[in-house]
A and B are shown apart, each in its own frame.
Chain A
Amino acid sequence: MKNLKKIALLLVATVAFVSCNNDDDSTPTPSNTTVDFTFTQNFNGDAIENSDYENTQYTNANGETLTLSKLVYLISDITFTATDGTVYDAGDYNLVNARTGSNLNFTPGVSIPEGDYTVSFTFGFDDEDNDLDGGYPGLNTADGGWNVPTPLGGGYHYMRMEGTYINNLGATDNFQYHTVRANRHSSLPPSPTTLEELVDTSFIVNLGTVTIGSNTNIEVKMNVDQWFKNPNLWDLNTWYTVLMPNFEAQMDMSENGAGGVFSLGEVTQ
């Protein structure tokens, strides 16, 4: 019995020693962390909640009264650039459905050291991602197919914003503000033989410098009103439908988007 006790004691001591040994072997390294993002939407500062869709009337810069029924948008390539120039980019994407609330929260698949970073992302897909061989099955089945038809240059939508507005005649009409890669045609209606030019109208949003800690959440705000102004005052009476093959409309949308639709919101640690 005494021998048994001794053996047991020896085993416990050995385990403890080995455990300590393991701990001692690990050299302290800076811990890497992931970063959470939350996407919010507002119309000139008024938060847009689910109950606002099809209910709340907004007035855009051109004076048109409108309501929203759909707001779905794609962001990609969230990038963290460290002060020493090191770039971290998971290369993934997030399709936000603002009305249903799906994917309002997103964590890029990249782990980075804590510290200060310039944070940026792409609205939509740049050409490299848009033309990825094989495409994205997750987007092919999202919102009925997030794709852009081949006669319009293929790839994917950047945003589908839809709703109603009061037109110049005082009647309610539907609008479809869909942003895609700008495509110019020799003639309309478009077909596989009419496409003349494609312009990458995605744009990079720079959120500025953010201190990343072990539990950082970054709010990205979208001001919907901005899509209708600065630098291009948007007249829904002119451009309210069939905007996908409208080259000039797509260029203006992109400029307005880059003109300040997105901004850095609250950062929590």
Chain B
Amino acid sequence: MNKYWIYLGVCVLLGFTASCNDSDDNGPTYTPTPVTLEIPAVFDGVLLPPAIPNDNPLTEEGIALGKKLFFDPILSLDNSQACADCHRPENAFSDPRRFSVGINGNEGTRQSMPLFNMAWNFENKFFWDGRALSIEDQIFKPVVDPNEMANTWPNAENSLQADAEYPELFERAFGTRNIDSVLVSKAIAQFMRTLVSANSKFDRFQMGLEQLTPQEENGLNVFLDEGRGDCFHCHGLPESPLWTDNIFHNNGMDEVITDLGLGGFSGDPREFGHFKSPSLRNLAYTAPYMHDGRFETLEEVINHYSEGLVFSETIDPLMKNVSTGGAHMTESDKADLKAFLLTLSDESFINNPDFRQ
């Protein structure tokens, strides 16, 4: 009986000691502040809630760290190029150049995609060709792309680790001073999920705060008319205000497909030449257009769908009257359509101080 109580006492003591030890191992308290992404009024109740991964919840410390990393050239090999150099806030986080230029002076082959409302991409495929399966995954690519930052992740991690500020910032955000690529991607992804654009003239019209001009109203009708613009089947509509389907299409730009797009990643020949529909928000700031930036103006884009369609094997069936080049809209309808499209641009987004360095 006595032995029994002694064993029990020892066990309790050991357990207590172990508990104390665990607490001591934790070091400074890790208490990041949770952030709930504010849902814009035009999205609220209309769209599904934003997709925030369970293993990377938004926190004030994580977002701040991600923003610092986004604007810091430290991730590039020669410390000369930041994410923001090719994803410029004033261009809705796109690049006014047709192809961005990496640290080695090499051009890429596709236009820099604008960045906003990515938390509502429920397809979870990113880049023009969908080869990144999450925002976090997407961040891994440009750092090591020889035509972009041309770095290695071990080298980028070492640079951050040796920096005077970053270890402390990672500790605040993630509870560790040991910096690795996964945490870098998580932090930048958190910042990118906060890039929300939903305050365009059309958004305000939807909320009854502003009126459209007759020209803009007719442009919306053209947009929604299967026989003219038929833009809505790929680019959404007022009831689906992301203005993209986040899906991949061959939109009849080339008879011979040289850039395989989604098919180059998936290996499926039926997806050769498929590229993601970009959102039509912020077109005023995101020229040039299309995955290869071949069109400098919205007029060229509209003319393409009106008269310029060409056939290839994987062309999307939504491209109508391909044999005659398209729907042949009137010049008046084209001008109205352009006027409507420009109502989707959100000046407050590109000037938001939270999104500037």
Contact between chains at A137 and B234 (CB < 8 Å): no
Given A189-B225, A189-B227, A242-B226, decide whether A141 and B240 contact each other with a Cβ distance below 8 A: yes
Chain A residue nearest in CB terms to B43: A137
Contact between chains at A141 and B122 (CB < 8 Å): yes
Stretch in contact with the other chain, from B14-22, B194-202, B318-326:
B318-326
- The residue from B120, B225, B232, B318 contacting A174, defined by CB atoms under 8 A apart: B318
Contact between chains at A174 and B320 (CB < 8 Å): yes
Stretch in contact with the other chain, from A39-47, A145-153, A252-260:
A145-153
Chain A residue nearest in CB terms to B315: A174
Q: How many of chain B's residues touch chain A, expressed as a range?
A: 35 or more
CB distance from A103 to the nearest CB of B (A): 14
Enumerate chain A residues within 8 angstroms of B319, measured Cβ to Cβ.
Answer: 174
CB distance from B51 to the nearest CB of A (A): 10
Interface residue B76 (Cβ < 8 Å from any Cβ of A): no
Interface residue B101 (Cβ < 8 Å from any Cβ of A): no
**Beta-carbon contacts under 8 Å, A144-169 to B:** 144-145, 147, 149-152, 154, 162-164
Contact between chains at A137 and B48 (CB < 8 Å): yes
CB distance from A24 to the nearest CB of B (A): 38
Given A1-B1, A53-B270, decide whether A144 and B226 contact each other with a Cβ distance below 8 A: no
Of B218, B221, B322, chain A has the most CB atoms within 10 Å of the CB of B221
- The residue from B240, B311, B314 contacting A147, defined by CB atoms under 8 A apart: B240
Enumerate chain B residues within 8 angstroms of A188, measured Cβ to Cβ.
Answer: 227
- The residue from A144, A152, A191, A241 contacting B277, defined by CB atoms under 8 A apart: A144
**Beta-carbon contacts under 8 Å, B14-53 to A:** 45-48
Interface residue B177 (Cβ < 8 Å from any Cβ of A): no
**Beta-carbon contacts under 8 Å, A201-252 to B:** 241-245
Contact between chains at B225 and A143 (CB < 8 Å): no
- The residue from A154, A163, A242 contacting B317, defined by CB atoms under 8 A apart: A163
Contact between chains at A145 and B227 (CB < 8 Å): no
Instruction: Give CA–CA (A244, B311) in the complex, Å.
Output: 24
Chain A residue nearest in CB terms to B243: A145
Interface residue A63 (Cβ < 8 Å from any Cβ of B): no
Interface residue B245 (Cβ < 8 Å from any Cβ of A): yes
What is the interface of chain B mostly: helix, strand, loop, or mixed?
loop
Instruction: Give CA–CA (A245, B246) in the complex, Å.
Output: 26
Enumerate chain B residues within 8 angstroms of A143, measured Cβ to Cβ.
Answer: 245, 247
CB distance from B336 to the nearest CB of A (A): 12
Interface residue A69 (Cβ < 8 Å from any Cβ of B): yes
Contact between chains at B228 and A138 (CB < 8 Å): no
Instruction: Give CA–CA (A144, B1) in the complex, Å.
Output: 73
Instruction: Give CA–CA (A54, B318) in the complex, Å.
Output: 14
Interface residue A173 (Cβ < 8 Å from any Cβ of B): yes
Given A141-B48, A141-B122, A174-B322, decide whether A164 and B317 contact each other with a Cβ distance below 8 A: yes
- The residue from B47, B277, B311, B317 contacting A137, defined by CB atoms under 8 A apart: B47
Query: What 0/1 readout, one digit per residue, does chain B (217-242) give for beta carbons within 8 Å of chain A?
Result: 01001001111100011111111101
Given A190-B225, A245-B226, decide whether A147 and B237 contact each other with a Cβ distance below 8 A: yes
Enumerate chain B residues within 8 angstroms of A189, measured Cβ to Cβ.
Answer: 221, 225, 227-228
Instruction: Give CA–CA (A143, B120) in the complex, Å.
Output: 13
Given A1-B1, A69-B317, A144-B234, decide whether A242 and B227 contact each other with a Cβ distance below 8 A: yes
- The residue from A137, A173, A191 contacting B46, defined by CB atoms under 8 A apart: A137
Contact between chains at A140 and B318 (CB < 8 Å): no
Enumerate chain A residues within 8 angstroms of B240, measured Cβ to Cβ.
Answer: 140-141, 144-145, 147
Given A242-B226, A242-B227, decide whether A173 and B318 contact each other with a Cβ distance below 8 A: no
Instruction: Give CA–CA (A245, B230) in the complex, Å.
Output: 12
Chain A residue nearest in CB terms to B271: A54
Interface residue A122 (Cβ < 8 Å from any Cβ of B): no
Enumerate chain B residues within 8 angstroms of A145, measured Cβ to Cβ.
Answer: 232, 236-237, 239-240, 245
Given A144-B236, A144-B245, A145-B232, decide whether A70 and B317 contact each other with a Cβ distance below 8 A: yes
Lowest 8 CB-CB distances: which A-B pairs, in order? A144-B245, A145-B240, A149-B224, A174-B317, A162-B317, A147-B239, A242-B227, A242-B226
Q: A135-B239, A144-B236, A245-B226 are in contact. List 5 more A-B contacts (CB 8 A).
A: A70-B317, A140-B240, A144-B244, A145-B245, A171-B323
B contacts, CB < 8 Å to A:
1, 45-48, 120, 122, 218, 221, 224-228, 232-240, 242, 244-247, 270, 277, 311, 314-323
CB-defined A-B contacts under 8 Å, sample of 23: A53-B270, A69-B316, A69-B317, A137-B47, A140-B47, A141-B48, A141-B120, A141-B122, A144-B240, A145-B245, A147-B239, A149-B225, A149-B232, A149-B237, A150-B224, A150-B239, A152-B224, A163-B317, A174-B322, A189-B221, A192-B221, A245-B225, A245-B227
